[in-house]
Structure 1
């Protein structure tokens, strides 16, 4: 290749975001040899068609991929490369979760493994279900870690779990298997709780203890699980609940029928028409037929519109065969809960919708 078509190592470094020293290392390791090397000066030159490989190499190293794995990805086809990247990221996530658990246990041990403050004793399967249901209302937002957390409030005879992503608020109240006289409140890292849920589910009873910087889940014949406490203040959900307007319309709908209609709806948003005849899931296009669902309805007829990602999780986590939907106009927060059990309640915000539409 004529020298005029090649790039000196400095120019190639600028084009790819790699330093000259890194390019020399990758050349020596065989991952990215230069197109040509001047036999007298030893100066290295690179071709334009090497930019893509060099850029991919840099990005793979930025996600901490080992050199051997990098070479496998660079030499693989698109599908195989994607699979290898997914496997690498999954290992990183698993390793990070394991490191967090070990760090929490280590901090507790360095503190002398002080006895925790017992805040509740619950059946493992019940606690795991409640955690997974309420955590559907969380979100990972940059700079707002609290939105990915679960707020725990322990009071005599009850344990309340609450989460919100600002578009939904989900709360469930559990009755402890053993009553406690203690009160406690804190927001726990949602990812830690998700990681612990499978172990919790297999335990007959779980002791929840408050410890410095988090909670400790103690289970017979299983290792303790430590979940971190978040330092941010949880949104004032009690004020939100207290300030809700009057319910104007109530509809009780079979849960499975509503879920099926939402699953088959092709749009990102869904419009419900609630009237005395029942609940109708409106089509996305005029050519599609509406889906009419049987429902017991009281109050004024109205149309209301939701993001699918807001409505579906709220309905799917409801307890029991029927869900009650309580509406406060076309633009007010909607309460979705079991028709016969009120211990899991979700508030869902509709999207802007003109009343005359």
Structure 2
């Protein structure tokens, strides 16, 4: 017999998915311990679980998955190809519909871009405390995207408004925001996305507490400090409106034991794990079968992404996690300021 942990590891489904498919009647365990409620699976169920994982990876609806598994286990090899072909045709229709919708969106975006002015000829100079600027860059650098299909996310947004310089980075799965104070800017709002290599070159100059001078001229930006300077050009595309993305309803705030959380996350090498939120935040044990009342809220996360966010926050003493709901982004707040925070998109634990 296979334990639920062994079955999850060997099939690629994961423990949470196996629990879900048991409750859904798709893949019930061969035996459930009446004393502990622990699930055990027969050896022949491993192939069935692997097939289930492939079907769900292909996006097949659960109702069709049940039919495929029933036909496969019953030896009806004629029905399975028909079900697979039907699902493939459905995916092709959905892809065609998605292409049409995205073409309409691109057309609207093209019209919007043609009516907007994306740069200004006015030269703006402002000073930023070097140490504060460096800390803000360090708080957001981990969230910069690396997808070549989305080059605008491969940099950090510099958003200057009045005396505030907000730095924003996102790769779609997480977002980090930080703030630094400035002096000398008395104009309107300035936004430009600085590519990651130029950001790293700027950060290398910020080594003391002196003032740093930022100069913006259209899409050109220059940093000067301690008699050294680095300059380059911003990315040409418009950064997403992060203010809309960070406008979340207030949630429940749970304090974090950061050292314990880091140690627990370090033991997970998969792409997701479950956090359990009670009066603190812990990482669920794969063998934990607690689904009933009092077990706390559960939310799936990418452990590597959460570790990145914790590391960017420094020692993490006093950090809290704000939880709105299982499908809403998690917010990690630093104890000293709410001007620097990060968002983390949850992962599904059901399949």
**Contact 1:188/1:214, CA 8 A, preserved across alignment:** no
Residues 236-275 of structure 1 aligned to structure 2 (within 5 Å): 236-242=241-247, 244-247=248-251, 249-275=252-278
TM-score, with length taken from structure 1: 0.58
- Distance of 1:174 and 1:231 partners within structure 2: 24
Change (3 A) 1:219 1:330: same
Gaps in structure 2 of 5+ consecutive residues: 1-120
Which residue of 2 is the match for residue 312 of structure 1?
307
What is the aligned residue count? 226
Which residue of 1 is the match for residue 233 of structure 2?
228
SS at match of 1:150: strand
- Distance of 1:203 and 1:116 partners within structure 2: 25
Residues 101-250 of structure 1 aligned to structure 2 (within 5 Å): 116-118=123-125, 120-176=126-182, 178-182=183-187, 183-202=189-208, 204-222=210-228, 224-242=229-247, 244-247=248-251, 249-250=252-253
Between 1:160-169 and 1:313-322, the stretch displaced more is 313-322
**Contact 2:274/2:349, CA 8 A, preserved across alignment:** no
TM-score, with length taken from structure 2: 0.59
- Distance of 2:143 and 2:215 partners within structure 1: 24
1:195 Cα deviation from its structure 2 partner: 2.4
The higher-RCO structure (CA 8 Å, 6+ apart) is 2
**Contact 2:124/2:217, CA 8 A, preserved across alignment:** yes
**Post-superposition CA distance 1:179-209 (Å, at most 9, x none):** 5323311111122111221112246211111
Pick the structure with more strand per residue: 1
Which residue of 2 is the match for residue 346 of structure 1?
342
Which residue of 1 is the match for residue 12 of structure 2?
none
**Post-superposition CA distance 1:56-82 (Å, at most 9, x none):** xxxxxxxxxxxxxxxxxxxxxxxxxxx
Higher Cα Rg, which structure? 1
1:282 Cα deviation from its structure 2 partner: 1.3
1:286 Cα deviation from its structure 2 partner: 5.9
Change (3 A) 1:255 1:286: closer
**Post-superposition CA distance 1:116-149 (Å, at most 9, x none):** 411x311222212211321211111123111111
Which residue of 2 is the match for residue 279 of structure 1?
281
SS at match of 1:191: helix
Which residue of 1 is the match for residue 323 of structure 2?
327
1:115 Cα deviation from its structure 2 partner: 9.3
1:332 Cα deviation from its structure 2 partner: 1.3
